[in-house]
Structure 1
Amino acid sequence: MPYVNIKITREGGTTPQQKAKLIKGVSELLLEVLNKPLNATFIVIDEVELEDWGVGGLPVEEYRKQAGEKS
C-alpha cells in the first residue's frame, strides 16, 4: 500500500481542483509503473507556511532574495 506525501508552500493558493489533479496523477503513475491499485494508494498533500520552509540553510524567502541577487 503506497503512501505518498506531497508538501507545498501555502503561498500559491493551490485550488481543490489542482490538488485533485495531483492525487489522480500520482495515483495513476503508481498504478502504471508499480502496478499498485488505486484503492490501495494514499496521497496526502500538506501545505506548509512559507516561514516554515527552508532551503540551502536559509528560510525560503531569504534564499529567494539571495538567488535573485545572483541572477
Structure 2
Amino acid sequence: MANGCEMCCEILIAILLPPIGVCFRHGCCTVEFMICLLLTILGYIPGIIYALYAIVFVDRDQYFDEARRPLYAQN
C-alpha cells in the first residue's frame, strides 16, 4: 500500500493526465489503464473520475489474500 505522499502525488498526476496516474499505480498493460485511457479519450472528466477511483479504491493485493477476499468470492 502506498504512503500518504505517494498517494497525493498519484492523485495530482491523475487530475492532470488520468491514464498516467493509473499507469503509475497499476501498470501500462492492465485493464484499469485501458479503461481509463478510453474514458479519457471519450471525455476528460470521466477519465479523471475513474482514475481517482482506480488509484484510491482499487487495491489489487487484497484479492490475493485469502482472509480479505470479497464476500461473493468466498465459498
Give TM-score scaled by structure 2 length. Answer: 0.32
Q: Which has the larger radius of gyration?
A: 1
More strand per residue: 1
TM-score (norm 1): 0.33
Structure with the greater relative contact order (CA < 8 A, sep ≥ 6): 1 or 2?
1
Which has a greater percent of helix? 2
